[in-house]
Amino acid sequence: MRTITHIDRMQKVSDDLKKEGKTIGFVPTMGFIHEGHLSLIDIANKNADVTVASLFVNPKQFTPTEDYRCYPRNLARDKKLLKKRGCSIFFYPDVDAMYSKYFKTEVYVRNLSKLLCGVRRKTHFKGVTTVVAKLFNILKPDIAVFGQKDAQQVIILKRMVEDLNFDVKIVIGPIIREDDGLAMSSRNIYLKKKEREEASVIFKSLKEAEKMIHDGERNASRIKKRMRRMISTKKSAAIDYIRIVETKELRSVNEINGEILIAVACFFGKARLIDNIIINL
Ligand code: PAF
Q: What is the pLDDT of residues 105-124, one digit of tens each?
A: 999 999 999 999 999 999 99
Q: Give the pLDDT band (50/70/90) at residue 189.
A: very high
Whose Cα sits closest to atom 9 in ligand 1? 128
Looking at residue 205, its pLDDT comes to 99
Q: 181 CA distance to ligand 1 centroid (A)?
A: 22
Q: pLDDT digit string (tens) for 202-260?
A: 999 999 999 999 999 999 999 999 999 999 999 999 999 999 999 999 999 999 999 99
Question: What local confidence, expressed as pLDDT, does residue 71 receive?
Answer: 97
pLDDT band at 280; cut points 50, 70, 90? very high
All CATH 3.30.1300.10 domain ranges in the chain, comma separated: 186-280
Q: Can you tell me the distance from the alpha carbon of 52 to that of 158, in angstroms, rounded to the nearest whole number?
A: 20
Give the position, in ligand 1's atom list, of the atom nearest the Cα of 132.
Answer: 9
Write down the catalytic residue from 6, 34, 37, 124: 37
* Superfamily of domain covering 186-280: Pantoate-beta-alanine ligase, C-terminal domain (3.30.1300.10)
Atom of ligand 1 nearest to the CA of 128: 9
Residue type, 110: R
User: Is the overall model pTM greater than 0.85, yes or no?
Assistant: yes
Does 145 contact ligand 1 (Cβ within 6 A)? no
Ligand 1 neighbour 58 (Cβ under 6 A) = yes
Query: Average pLDDT, whole number, for the chain?
Result: 98
Which residue out of 26, 27, 29 has the highest number of ligand 1 atoms within 8 Å of its CB and is therefore the one to mutate? 29
CA of 139 to the centre of ligand 1 (A): 15
CATH 3.40.50.620 in the chain is located at 2-173
Residue 28 Cα to ligand 1 midpoint, Å, equals 6
Our answer to whether residue 37 is catalytic in this structure is yes
The 10s digit of each residue's pLDDT in 129-168 is 999 999 999 999 999 999 999 999 999 999 999 999 999 9
CATH class as words, domain 2-173: alpha beta
Q: Does the beta carbon of 132 sit less than 6 angstroms from any atom of ligand 1?
A: yes
pLDDT at res. 68 = 97
Closest protein CA for atom 5 of ligand 1: 128
Whole-number Å distance, alpha carbon 213 to ligand 1 midpoint, is: 31
Q: Is 150 in the pocket of ligand 1 (CB under 6 A)?
A: yes
Q: Which of 83, 96, 86 is nearest to 3 (CA)?
A: 83
CA atoms 60, 64, 66, 72: torsion sign = positive
